[in-house]
Amino acid sequence: MSETDSAPEAAPAPAPQHPFTLAVDVGGTGIKASVLDATGKMVADRVRVDTTYPLSPETFVSDIVELAKPLPSYDRVSVGFPGVVREGRVVTAPHFVTTHGPGSKVSKELLRAWSGFAAVDELSKRLGHPVRILNDADLQGLDVAQGKGLELVVTFGTGVGTALFMNGVLAPHLELAHHPFRNGGTYNDQLGDAALKHVGVKRWRKRAKLGLETLDELVNFDHCFVGGGNSRHLSGRLDEARYTVIDNIAGILGGIKLWEDSPGVPGEAQEA
């Protein structure tokens, strides 16, 4: 190449594609959000706020509205919620019915407030856009499931989340984390963040492996995706032929799949 020649100019990055989706990942310790284009590419950095306690449904909605304010404009909203949601209404919200967060006393007042809360309707009103909402582990699964056989998603965070897919189709949500696991405790009790802090990483990791093995005996999965903030403690320590440790960003990116009208997306995710 001569001195007068110049290197070819790099092709400009493709413009973000509409529609834009506000994707919200609700957790027991924090609420995260970003805006995604139609291909699932983030058009803004993630923003985060701590989950406040006690958390009423009204405060929950207001926190999401405030979280979204600094983000770019969007056309629709996807929310991953740590509980059971059917037809846009909350059935269970185990973290949020407590007075001071997971492990604290259950408030009868909050229990009543959250039971049947019309989350889709209220968020749609406040945000001014159509909303779809799904269990957070289910939502992560929408991003990572490969559509081959029986796939299990297990998330280790504040609590334990699970989702099941058969040939890419999401099964009805089961709260396996509340089922007895060991020594009279549930998966949440034994493998949640509080247990990790109490027993330390080494003992927790051993318990987590036992938990995954027990879930395998229960559902006989073909592959298991392990996510959540504490999954990092299992990275490189699981059989890669049967397990994949996934990035927590799946809780955001699954928001696009929630708007794909396909057999893999449940009818309960439809907006009001």
pLDDT tens-place values along the chain, 272 residues long: 555 556 566 666 678 888 999 999 999 999 999 999 999 999 999 999 999 999 999 999 999 999 999 999 999 999 999 999 999 999 999 999 999 998 899 999 999 999 999 999 999 999 999 999 999 999 999 999 999 999 999 999 999 999 999 999 999 999 999 999 999 999 999 999 999 999 999 999 999 999 999 999 999 999 999 999 999 999 999 999 999 999 989 889 999 999 987 555 654 444 44
Residue tagged 């290197």 (tokens): 7
- What is the count of structural domains for the chain? 2
Quick one: pLDDT at residue 248? Answer: 85
In a domain, 271, yes or no: no
Phi, psi (deg, nearest 5) at residue 269: -85, -5
In a domain, 25, yes or no: yes
Both 163 and 201 in one domain: the answer is yes
In a domain, 255, yes or no: no
Both 127 and 165 in one domain: the answer is no
Both 113 and 171 in one domain: the answer is no
Both 127 and 154 in one domain: the answer is no
In a domain, 47, yes or no: yes
232 DSSP 8-state letter: G
Both 184 and 227 in one domain: the answer is yes
Quick one: pLDDT at residue 267? Answer: 47
Tokens of 108: 């009868």
Q: Which of 88, 116, 137 is the last residue of a domain?
A: 137
Residue 43 belongs to what domain range?
21-137
Both 188 and 117 in one domain: the answer is no
Distance CA 82, CA 28 (A): 7
Give the E-state strand segments of the chain in sequence order.
Answer: 21-26, 30-36, 47-50, 76-81, 85-86, 89-90, 131-135, 150-156, 160-166, 169-170, 180-182, 185-186, 223-227, 243-245
In a domain, 95, yes or no: yes
In a domain, 184, yes or no: yes
Beta partners for residue 23, in sequence order: 34, 78
In this structure, are residues 239 and 212 in contact, taking their beta carbons and an 8 Å threshold?
no
Both 46 and 152 in one domain: the answer is no
Give the chain's end-to-end CA distance (angstroms, integer).
62
CA-based Rg of the chain, rounded to a whole angstrom? 20
Quick one: pLDDT at residue 260? Answer: 86
Both 151 and 118 in one domain: the answer is no
Both 161 and 91 in one domain: the answer is no
